[in-house]
Amino acid sequence: MMDQIDHIMSVMDAAFDPYWGERWTRRQVLDALVMPNTGAVVIDEKGREILPEHQIRSAGFILTRSAADEEELLLIAVHPDFRGKGLGRRLIALLTANARERGIAKIFLEMRANNPAEKLYRKMGFEPIGRRKNYYRTENGEQLDAITFALSNQ
């Protein structure tokens, strides 16, 4: 039987190019999920939430952490086989709706400067609020800035 970590890792392994160094290990995901106020949502190819015991193919996931009235989007991924079908938008919509129900006023995320997901984040209302110079390092040693985005969720 698959559990939530299996669902997440099946997407993680396919979605993240090792060159960028963004893929989390199974241990990192497990360690994050045992922390208070940290959670994950996994969806299938139709954008429906998958419960851990479901034996269907995972298409995407989000991993988040909240504190007070703020939420951080730690990780979002859509399996390459299912990209271009609106699943990234669906995951962010699930995140914002769930956060709003819990009284979350602001959602933050951080990404590397050349991440193509920036278009999606901006479409969903996220705005850049900060930059960390040379924060990320690629497989070949190239350094890239980190950009912090925020979304007012009220």
Q: How many whole angstroms separate alpha carbon 113 and alpha carbon 125?
A: 18
Residue 6: which H helix or E strand, with range? helix 4-15
Q: In what order do the strands lie in the sheet with 70-78?
A: 38-43, 60-67, 70-78, 106-112, 143-152, 127-137
Catalytically annotated residue among 22, 70, 110, 118: 110
Q: Are 52 and 4 in contact (CB under 8 A)?
A: yes
Catalytically annotated residue among 71, 72, 121, 136: 121
| 121 part of the active site | yes
Q: Are 91 and 61 in contact (CB under 8 A)?
A: yes
- What's the distance, CA 80 to chain centroid? 15
Q: Which residues contact 82 (CB under 8 A, 6 or more apart)?
A: 45, 59, 60
| 19 part of the active site | no
Residue 30: which H helix or E strand, with range? helix 26-33
Name the residues annotated as catalytic: 110, 121
